[in-house]
Amino acid sequence: MQPLMAYREIYEATLHKWGEAAQYDQAVEECAELITTLKHLRRGRTDETAVAEELADVYLMIGQLVYMIGEERVTAAVERKLVRLRKHLAAP
């Protein structure tokens, strides 16, 4: 799988074509579809292939959001979250 930011040209093209507001809305929609598919998987109403498809949509939307918000800002936030997670994992 390519790193998220390997698709910069596509992210830029989507923003140029549809605009930021539409892409924020699309991200919400894709996350909602993933949530629904995960709930269906737990109930035995779908399979992991469907989950993979929805994950791919969300993965691409996350890349667009990272592009829009700024890779450095998101990377710094991820690093802060990882520090906190490591502390939680080390706690008894």
Tell me: the pLDDT tens digits for 24-78? Answer: 999 999 999 999 999 999 999 999 999 999 999 999 999 999 999 999 999 999 9
pLDDT score at 34: 98
> How would you write the chain as a 3-class SS string?
CCCHHHHHHHHHHHHHHHCHHHHHHHHHHHHHHHHHHHHHHHCCCCCHHHHHHHHHHHHHHHHHHHHHHCHHHHHHHHHHHHHHHHHHHHCC
Return d(Cα 7, Cα 12) in angstroms, integer.
9
Q: What is the mean pLDDT of residues 17-24?
A: 98
C-alpha span between 6 and 86 (Å, rounded)? 28
- What integer is the mean pLDDT of 87-91? 96
Q: Is-above-0.95 flag for pTM?
A: no
pLDDT grade for 20, boundaries at 50, 70 and 90: very high
User: In the prediction, which pLDDT does 4 show?
Assistant: 79
